Chain A
Amino acid sequence: MRRRLLRWAGLLALLGAVVPDASRPPPEFGLITLDGGRGIDATDDVIWMLALGSDARPGEPVMRSRSDAIQLVGMNTVNHSAVTIGIPRDSYVDIPGHGQDKINAAMVYGGPETTAAAVAGLTGIEPDYVFVASFPGLIRMVNGIGGVRAEVTYEMDDQAQVFHPGPHRFSGIEALAFARIRYGLPGGDFDRSMDQGELLKGGLATLVEGLERPGFFEAALGVFARYTDTNLSPVELYQLGRTVLTINPARVQVCVLKGSSGYAGQASVVFADLVATRSLVADVRNDATVDQTC
């Protein structure tokens, strides 16, 4: 809106410079943008949120099932950048109180809090918020905001869904498939984790675009609240939602923790590259902004 007005103002100035006064009537109306200002009272300069996708099947408890997607998201409320750090679900880590296991088992052992503790043990970052979505919840949320755009990097085919490389607008059911498919991806779980980050970035972009429509934010937050089990009050939910949507989607960097595949006993697992993990965390911990590559 503002950009369009500025362009118009620029066009008027240009016409004024090249068109003789006699050839145009005196202006009767005009409108120029003088100035704009935007700000929000965020609780912190940097907010860390752990976004978990629960693979609970019908009848299973969402908060006590394995986490199929694990994304640690840092948001800088001052410079409006963000980073998503995907953690492969098979990462073999220490789960506080439960010994070594795949990180996706942490939620079964002790719920989202235990997953957050395991993530903190691996990365050194303690999330301020933990968000858990079920499969139907993700589908409803994506459909509720009219779909989500994301880039498909590799040809994906799990028989039920086929995605070709390039930009794609995902419906809820497609978004779930995109977040879950790993067969055919050269990097396997690492690429899948990258796709989940891209989906979060695309979701943010869709939400930010929607802000142009009066009432969109309140309606979208209403859908979110209806399908979310949260201990945040409606006031906290509103403030957090408004704060999250100050993030500029173009300034979201999607990262995935590096690691290598191996075995722990009979189980196929991922061993995190701890040197690379520490390096990335040192880069983003205080400002949620990637200065190096990730």
Chain B
Amino acid sequence: MSRADAKLEVSIEQLRGGVDRAQRPQLRRALSRPIASWIDGAFPNGGYPTNDFAAAFAAWTPAAAALAREHRDVTTNAALGGDLTGVILDKRSVRLFIFATDGVVGGATARVTLGIAGVRPDGSETRFSVAGELYLTREASQWQIFGYDLQRRREFP
């Protein structure tokens, strides 16, 4: 593939509950980690054709990962992975809405938008997007995805 994936853009849109502003960069990085892990594992740039997206849920809670596997046509590239030679993510946007109380962060909603181009063996592209929400919580300082509400849409031409 000659085209590179778009940069992962993560912004904090809402953070209340007495959290010090100085914590924002660290919080953004910590929340970005499981989301980036999912995107990279679910919609990898290379290695096609493949139906192996096992790495997608490494940063999910076990129960959420089990549910997400049932929706793998939405939560991963399983629907098309076997028919493609490559994938380019030309949009990777994440907006974070964070809940905190008394200065302690409890969870976050990540509104995710992925713009994806799948390359077929003849060089043509099929375009689709995956968008929706991921719900994150933490165990100690380790953030995990514990829920999701995602839609996958095909875009044309």
Q: Do A and B come from one complex?
A: yes
Which residues of A does B touch, CB under 8 Å?
2, 5, 27-42, 214-215, 217-219, 221-222, 225-226, 233-239, 242
Q: Within 8 Å of chain A (Cβ to Cβ): is B9?
A: no
Q: How far is the CA of A182 from the CA of B38 in the complex (A)?
A: 53
Q: Within 8 Å of chain A (Cβ to Cβ): is B71?
A: yes
Q: Establish whether residues A215 and B14, one from each chain, have CB atoms under 8 Å apart when the complex forms.
A: yes
Q: How far is the CA of A39 from the CA of B67 in the complex (A)?
A: 6
Residues of B within 8 A of A214 (CB): 13-14, 95, 97, 109, 111
A41's contact among B13, B16, B67, B97, by CB below 8 Å, is which?
B67
Interface size class of B (residues with CB under 8 A): 35 or more
Query: Which single residue of chain B is at the shortest CB-CB distance from A234?
Result: B106
Which residues of B does A touch, CB under 8 Å?
13-14, 16-17, 61-64, 67-68, 70-71, 73-75, 79, 95, 97-102, 104-109, 111, 128, 132, 135, 137-139, 146-157
Q: Establish whether residues B153 and A33, one from each chain, have CB atoms under 8 Å apart when the complex forms.
A: yes
Q: Establish whether residues A234 and B99, one from each chain, have CB atoms under 8 Å apart when the complex forms.
A: yes
Q: How far is the CA of A233 from the CA of B147 in the complex (A)?
A: 19
Q: Establish whether residues A234 and B104, one from each chain, have CB atoms under 8 Å apart when the complex forms.
A: yes
Known: A235-B139, A242-B147. 8 other contacts (CB 8 A): A33-B153, A39-B68, A41-B67, A41-B147, A214-B111, A217-B97, A218-B109, A237-B101
Q: How far is the CA of A233 from the CA of B104 in the complex (A)?
A: 9
Q: Establish whether residues A233 and B106, one from each chain, have CB atoms under 8 Å apart when the complex forms.
A: yes
- Do most interface residues of chain A lie in helix, strand or loop, or is the interface mixed? mixed
Q: Establish whether residues B101 and A217, one from each chain, have CB atoms under 8 Å apart when the complex forms.
A: no
Q: Establish whether residues A39 and B153, one from each chain, have CB atoms under 8 Å apart when the complex forms.
A: no
Q: How far is the CA of A40 from the CA of B70 in the complex (A)?
A: 12
Q: How far is the CA of A84 from the CA of B46 in the complex (A)?
A: 51
Q: Establish whether residues B156 and A38, one from each chain, have CB atoms under 8 Å apart when the complex forms.
A: no
Q: How far is the CA of A214 from the CA of B113 in the complex (A)?
A: 14
A36's contact among B64, B79, B151, by CB below 8 Å, is which?
B151
Residues of B within 8 A of A222 (CB): 16-17, 99-101
Given A217-B109, A225-B17: A39 and B151 interface contact (C-beta under 8 Å): no
A173, chain B: closest CB distance, angstroms: 25
Q: Establish whether residues A242 and B74, one from each chain, have CB atoms under 8 Å apart when the complex forms.
A: no
Q: Establish whether residues A39 and B74, one from each chain, have CB atoms under 8 Å apart when the complex forms.
A: no
Residues of A within 8 A of B148 (CB): 37-40
A37's contact among B16, B75, B100, by CB below 8 Å, is which?
B75
Residues of A within 8 A of B102 (CB): 225, 234
Q: Establish whether residues B154 and A219, one from each chain, have CB atoms under 8 Å apart when the complex forms.
A: no
8 A–B contacts, CB within 8 A, in A order: A29-B155, A35-B152, A36-B132, A37-B149, A40-B67, A221-B99, A222-B101, A225-B17
